[in-house]
Amino acid sequence: MTGDFRVSVLRLGHRRERDKRITSHLGLTARAFGADEVILAGEEDDSAIETWNSVSERFGGNLDCHFEPKPMNWLRRFAVSGTVIHLTMYGESWRKVTGEIPKDKPAVIVVGGTKVPAELFSIADHNVSIGNQPHSEVAALGVFMDSWLGPIEESSKFAGGQIEVVPSERGKRVVNLEEE
């Protein structure tokens, strides 16, 4: 839980060959910026989910991740009691709306891959742009999550890992937590 509410990220329209790396990075970004769950939709791809689980095992945390064969059905059910945030270049500026998005109930942040269903724009409680230029779902997610959720690095979100990176001015400092 990020604070006292659950944050999920839903990746629509994954294309197993074309989006392999960017979807993998999307899930890692979701995890690093505070998501509790990453949901993959589009073409099924165990490799992305294996990557996310492997990073969680090494660096800690309890990220839930799974493939969702019917994402729009899932979203319709979720929207009954949760907040749906759709990141799109067509939306309202994140600088303007992020402060209005509630942080007291479960939320899902939705990003596209291939063209997203038009219905998503009406299901979403918030259609949010990170600028109105086309760029990347990974960049959009990272900027939005950091702006909306704030600092994660100090939280206990990543407890239970095998290793921990210690911030340092230069070089790499990694603590093996299993030797502690």
| Residues forming the site for ligand SAM (CB under 6 A) | 87-89, 111-113, 115-116, 129-131, 133-137, 140
Least Å distance between CB 86 and ligand SAM? Answer: 7
Closer Cβ to ligand SAM, 79 or 177, answer by number: 79
**Token pair of 79 as six digits:** 């929207």
Tokens 């990020």 label which residue? Answer: 2
Closer Cβ to ligand SAM, 3 or 90, answer by number: 90
Closer Cβ to ligand SAM, 47 or 93, answer by number: 93
Closer Cβ to ligand SAM, 76 or 90, answer by number: 90
Residue nearest to ligand SAM (CB): 112
Least Å distance between CB 97 and ligand SAM? Answer: 12
Calpha distance 163→66 (Å, rounded): 24
Least Å distance between CB 113 and ligand SAM? Answer: 6
Least Å distance between CB 23 and ligand SAM? Answer: 11
Closer Cβ to ligand SAM, 73 or 90, answer by number: 90
Least Å distance between CB 33 and ligand SAM? Answer: 15
Q: With CA atoms as reference, report the closest residue to 85 among 5, 3, 16.
A: 5
